[in-house]
A = this chain, B = another copy of it.
Amino acid sequence: MRTKLRYGQVGGTLSAFIGGVHRKAIAINEQAELVAGCFSSSNPGSNMECGAHYGIEDSRIYPDYRTMAEKESVREDKIDFVVICTPNRFHYDVAKAFIEKGIHVVCEKPLCFKVEEAEHLCRLAEENNILFCVTYTYTGYNMVKQARELIGNGLIGEVVDVKAEYLQDWLMDEVNNAGSSEKKLSVWRMNPDFSGISNCVGDIGSHIEETVSYMTGSKVKRLVAMLDKFGHELDLNANMLVEFDNGAHGTFSCSQIAAGHYNGLAIRIFGTEGAVEWEQEHPDFLRVTLKGQPTQIYTRAAHTSGHALEMNRIPSGHPEGLTMAFANIYRTFADALLNRINGKDTDGKWDLDFPNAEDGLRGVKFINACVESSDKGSVWVEL
């Protein structure tokens, strides 16, 4: 029986922020070891240096992802899964290559740019019996799982309204910067070549969509969106009215120019019998209100059940933080993969409780619908 997994990474050189978070999250779980990688195909020196730093054998540091997929797939001790942290525009090609070689995939969000590509990846993954995880970070938080648990159990009745937002302020300087020749670090996200058709909605709006859907089990059916570009090619701020498949209504807002908000994902779910509210900047707490009763402050570990309970790592009151949310996603994914490798059945409960390719597809549709609505004068668009 296997107890440890082997994995490889595509993208994520030493200086890349998110690649490091993936590795640390995996390291925390002590369930998988990094044994192969292609960290940069454009810069062979950086690629080798990076691989060496992580203690990878030279022979498993690959010049490009295709070679990596091919060579790994035929090894006895091949990698069990690949982590894709490349710029977003490469996600599709890289994921496809590994799926086709039968290697399981963990891919950064957004899954890809085009709906057709996303649909193709979903189909391919299913046909090849591939476990495919899209790392929508916030679904890994303990109290987001607890919200899902409570809402799923009917505690707040039927969901009738959702207010969700994701506010940052790190691009405030860009509001008055359109057409500027001065190119800043921030530029890659605002460049369609790297970010596709949307910056703000693509980067953070998509987290709103997925986290709300994860919490409630409902999907956005249609929306009207207003994207603000302030003279740039891509959006920096957006507001939407949304309608869910269960009939609930609500607002989504995302912004990178909202002074005083750093990573302010805040989700409030209102039902016929109560409400559940969560803020990412204080992730270990959940506000739960039942009709006519005082609001209750649920605290991680002390007031958790189901998968949220299982995912507790340290006692309540000891903040777990974002890297632990990431680690929770990886732990769920790794457990599922180990079960599969070891021939164990799914437990039918939480063993597939991580965001998958279908979630990734829905995210791509959401981004596209927002841009289409806004471009057409903020009209209703069906997903």
Contacts and interface: CB of A to CB of B under 8 A. Distances in A.
A23 B175 CA distance: 44
A338 interface: no
Contact of A224 (B243, B292, B316, B378): B378
A199 interface: no
Given A319-B281, A378-B241, A249 B226 contact: yes
A277 interface: yes
Contact of A319 (B168, B176, B259, B322): B322
Interface residues of A, number: 84
Most chain B Cβ neighbours within 10 Å, of A165, A273, A314, A319: A319
A163 B290 CA distance: 26
A302 B28 contact: no
Contact of A28 (B27, B240, B251, B262): B27
B284 A281 contact: yes
Contact of A176 (B250, B270, B272): B272
A291 B299 CA distance: 13
Contacts of A255: 161, 270
B272 A317 contact: no
30 contacts: A17-B314, A24-B27, A27-B27, A27-B28, A27-B30, A30-B54, A161-B257, A168-B317, A170-B315, A173-B291, A228-B249, A239-B249, A241-B241, A251-B253, A255-B270, A257-B272, A259-B273, A259-B274, A259-B290, A260-B287, A260-B295, A262-B302, A262-B316, A263-B315, A280-B319, A281-B284, A282-B282, A295-B297, A297-B297, A318-B321
A270 to B, nearest CB: 5
Given A318-B263, A378-B224, A299 B289 contact: no
The 3 A-B residue pairs whose C-beta atoms are closest, nearest first, are A321-B321, A262-B317, A263-B317
A318 B377 CA distance: 34
A156 B175 CA distance: 13
A194 interface: no
A309 interface: no
A314 B323 contact: yes
A375 B74 CA distance: 62
A294 B284 contact: no
Nearest to A227: B249
A354 B118 CA distance: 49
A169 B291 contact: yes
Most chain B Cβ neighbours within 10 Å, of A165, A230, A295, A297: A295
Interface string A236-273: 01011101000001110101011111111000001111
A172 interface: yes
Interface string A1-27: 000000000000000010001011001
Given A275-B258, A320-B322, A17 B315 contact: yes
A324 interface: yes
B239 A21 contact: no
A163 B28 contact: no
